[in-house]
Amino acid sequence: MQLIDEECRTLKYDREVSDLLQSSSTGLPILCQQFWVEVGKISNSDGMLKYKNITSFSAVFTEEARGGSSELAFKYAVYRINKEKSLLPNSTLVYDIQYTPERDSFKTYKKACAQIKSGAVALFSGEGVTLGATLGALCRSLRAPHMLAAPAPAALHSTNSTFTVNLYPPRELMVKAFSDLIGYLNWTRMGVIYEDYGYGELNMLDLGDGRDMYAVRVSDAEEYRRALALIKAQRIGNIIVDTDPTKMRQLGRALQLMRLSGGEGGGTVLAGHWTPGEGLAITDPAAYKRDPPPNVTLTVVTVEVSA
């Protein structure tokens, strides 16, 4: 199965898509919109895979991510492009969404191949243990643009051998964000709970920098209580938790079961944010200056996409 038949058209498509993959770090819906517009222009310029001014895009998500933020961003980007006729004046975007088991690469290949065979010019995928790597390999073979919004191995970021653009923050930015936060808090002794997303986003050696740090790695939300118990046994009062926004409820429940002051209060306070361009911005310094000071100060760090 081939995405493009003519060799000359393939070479031009490859060059334009490679240029497109050099993207900046902005919000997921915005980048989705920009990505679909540019790919739409490329396909329309050569008349590829377009019938009656309709351009087809496809997405594959895991069953666990059904209805999540990545899927909503994908749908919203297509909606905005169709609404703003000046972006693609002679085209209407349509999309097809398929769901696949998280670890079933065979079904993922089968559904993605069916989507491309039906006329899709690009694929979008969200989080999944093997989803991004599976679709990345497929799109590289078929020379099809692939947008990913999930952690991925470093090899997938090589623009010399891939047609994948990843919107998830790379490991270097994650480490920089944590380093800036720790530097602001000026904690010399702390506990860090971070999730195993599959590729190890955090480099604890870089984060430590001479500090007394007790790091615990968890694989899912069910291990929060165990991790908190280990840190509590070390009599550590300053804790940083790196977690997915969807797991805040499980984290709060674990805090309540551990009878930590952060859990008994039953709420969270947005203390600030970090972006690559502006760095760390603490919007509520009072969150770290309570009188009397709490027995445990817990900071939750999440990776979110901006609307």
Q: Rounded to whole angstroms, how far apart are CA atoms 49 and 51?
A: 7
- Claim to verify: residue 87 and residue 115 sit in the same structural domain: yes
- Claim to verify: residue 137 and residue 195 sit in the same structural domain: no
- Claim to verify: residue 22 and residue 123 sit in the same structural domain: yes
Query: Does residue 287 have a pLDDT over 80?
Result: no
The Cβ of residue 46 has, within 10 Å, a number of other Cβ atoms equal to: 15
Q: Rounded to whole angstroms, how far apart are CA atoms 209 and 211?
A: 6
- Is 241 part of a structural domain of the chain? yes
Helix axes 7-20, 28-46, angle to 10 degrees: 160
- Claim to verify: residue 157 and residue 278 sit in the same structural domain: no
State both tokens at 258. 């551990």
State both tokens at 92. 């209407």
226 bridge partner residues: none
- Claim to verify: residue 70 and residue 85 sit in the same structural domain: yes
- When divided into structural domains, the chain yields a total of 2
- Claim to verify: residue 102 and residue 179 sit in the same structural domain: no
Give this prediction's pTM.
0.62
What CATH number is given to the structural domain containing 81? 3.40.50.2300
- Claim to verify: residue 11 and residue 156 sit in the same structural domain: yes
Q: Rounded to whole angstroms, how far apart are CA atoms 70 and 72?
A: 5
- Claim to verify: residue 149 and residue 45 sit in the same structural domain: yes
Kindly state the average pLDDT of the residues 224-251: 83
Query: Which residues constitute the domain of residue 297?
Result: 171-301
Give 72-108 as a DSSP string: HHHHHHHHHHHH-TTTSTT-EEEEEEEEE-TT-HHHH
What CATH number is given to the structural domain containing 180? 3.40.50.10660
Contact indicator for 59, 72 with CB cutoff of 8 Å: no
- Claim to verify: residue 161 and residue 113 sit in the same structural domain: yes
Q: Rounded to whole angstroms, how far apart are CA atoms 246 and 251?
A: 10
Q: Rounded to whole angstroms, how far apart are CA atoms 301 and 216?
A: 15
- Whose CA is closest to 241, among 285, 299, 293, 196? 299
- What pLDDT, in 10s, does the model give residues 124-182? 988 876 888 889 888 888 888 888 887 766 555 555 557 888 877 777 777 788 888 88
Say what the pLDDT of residue 108 is.
92
- Is 2 part of a structural domain of the chain? no
- What pLDDT, in 10s, does the model give residues 47-68? 444 444 778 888 999 988 888 8
Say what the pLDDT of residue 100 is.
92
- Is 306 part of a structural domain of the chain? no
Provide the terminal-to-terminal Cα distance of the chain, rounded to the nearest Å.
Answer: 37
Say what the pLDDT of residue 11 is.
32
- Claim to verify: residue 43 and residue 58 sit in the same structural domain: yes
- Claim to verify: residue 244 and residue 148 sit in the same structural domain: no
